[in-house]
């Protein structure tokens, strides 16, 4: 299973803390995460929760920059220890499918690059909606790997490797464009979607573009690609880098919505 779906069972769980720390230094990540926090409409003194909070970098910024109270949930003990080391104090080890809070506990909740890893995204969304009070905010952010492009010579081979990444290496790698629909199903209102495209020209940036060069070898190990095709992918990848034409892009979707006030259809939808 992909590392972030079960960090603690990986051979070196702390290395995943390092992955998140490196991504946090990327301007693209800093900018879209700032927008995620804005979309929560943070108001001083109010209470927010991040589900799948990782190292808690964004949660700490929300708390420090908006004078709000922030709780975090993550299923990983390793990530929870990293959050506590960062000075976050309301850190629960828990599962997105069963949040350890009573109904209407928060003024807003967000999940940033978490739904792509969970076993049952609709159930996780239902939990986010349950714990947020009427008129509170929900924000979801994820890349949608159906939007990937890569410039190597053999575009068919590129598509097959990118498809493998989207469909096999992630549980829900192509769900982000459906977040708005899922939130609407719960009766949420004011649903907005903002696309943000991550464009990478430097193959060593964004943690080596998520390890992109190795995806073909992994596909070959799992029988999804012939080993000669995996070598061809690596050769063409290196060729693109050497020719200074390396280009990879994937679009993230930032989806936000408001929980309707009492007496609306939401109560029927959620509690059924
Ligand atoms: C890619 S990281 C993103 C972390 C953080 N949101 C950020 O923006 O840096 C995904 C996080 O979700 C957590 N996670 C994955 N599945 C989960 C689940 N079912 N319940 C709670 N957390 C989960 C992982 O442990 C990991 O910390």
Structure tokens at 95: 């599962």
Q: Give 95's pLDDT tier (boundaries 50, 70, 90).
A: very high
Tell me whether residue 32 is exposed, middle or buried, using C-beta atoms within 10 angstroms of its C-beta: 0 to 12, 13 to 18, 19 or more.
Answer: middle
CATH code of the region 3-261: 3.40.50.150
Which residue has a Cα nearest atom 25 of ligand 1?
76
- What's the pLDDT tens digit per position in 164-188? 999 998 999 999 999 999 999 999 9
- What's the pLDDT tens digit per position in 121-160? 999 999 999 999 999 999 999 999 999 999 999 999 999 9
CA of 222 to the centre of ligand 1 (A): 25
Closest CA to 255 of 144, 149, 161: 144
Q: Tell me the C-alpha distance between 244 and 238, whole Å.
A: 10
Rounded to the nearest 10 degrees, how much is the dihedral formed by the CA atoms of 210, 215, 221, 223?
A: 130
Cross-strand pairs, 254: 141, 194
Q: Tell me the C-alpha distance between 150 and 62, whole Å.
A: 34
**What is the model's pTM?**
0.94
- Residue 197 CA from chain centroid, whole number: 14
- pLDDT value at position 150? 97
User: 205 pLDDT exceeds 50?
Assistant: yes
- Residue 132 CA from chain centroid, whole number: 20
User: What ranges do the domains of the chain cover?
Assistant: 3-261
Nearest 5°: CA angle at 144, between 141 and 147? 140
Q: Sign of torsion, CA 152 157 161 163?
A: positive
Share of the chain above pLDDT 70, in %: 95
CA of 95 to the centre of ligand 1 (A): 10
Q: Give 1's pLDDT tier (boundaries 50, 70, 90).
A: low
- pLDDT value at position 264? 57
Structure tokens at 162: 């990118």
Compute the chain's Rg from CA coordinates: 19
For ligand 1, residues with CB inside 6 Å are 4-5, 7, 20, 51-54, 58, 73-76, 79, 95-96, 112-114, 117-118
């Amino acid at each position: 299973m992909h590392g972030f779906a079960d960090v603690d069972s990986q051979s070196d769980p702390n290395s995943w803390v390092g992955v998140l720390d490196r991504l946090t230094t990327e301007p693209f990540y800093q900018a879209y995460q700032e927008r995620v926090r804005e979309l929560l409409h943070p108001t001083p003194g109010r209470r927010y929760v991040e589900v799948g909070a990782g190292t808690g970098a964004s949660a700490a910024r929300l708390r420090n920059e908006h004078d709000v109270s922030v709780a975090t949930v993550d299923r990983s003990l390793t990530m929870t220890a990293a959050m506590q080391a960062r000075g976050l104090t309301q850190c629960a080890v828990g599962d997105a499918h069963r949040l350890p809070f009573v109904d209407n506990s928060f003024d807003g909740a967000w999940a940033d690059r978490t739904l792509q890893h969970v076993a049952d995204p609709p159930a996780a969304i239902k939990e986010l909606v349950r714990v947020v009070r009427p008129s509170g905010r929900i924000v979801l952010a994820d890349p949608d790997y159906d939007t990937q492009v890569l410039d190597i010579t053999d575009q068919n081979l590129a598509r097959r490797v990118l498809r493998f990444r989207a469909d096999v290496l992630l549980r829900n790698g192509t769900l982000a464009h459906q977040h708005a629909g899922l939130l609407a199903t719960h009766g949420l209102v004011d649903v907005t979607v903002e696309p943000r495209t991550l464009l990478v020209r430097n193959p060593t940036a964004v943690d080596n573009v998520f390890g992109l060069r190795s995806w073909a070898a992994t596909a070959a190990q799992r029988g999804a690609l012939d080993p000669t095709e995996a070598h061809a992918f690596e050769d063409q990848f290196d060729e693109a880098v050497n020719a200074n034409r390396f280009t990879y892009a994937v679009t993230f979707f930032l989806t936000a919505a408001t929980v309707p006030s009492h007496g609306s259809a939401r109560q029927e939808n959620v509690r059924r």
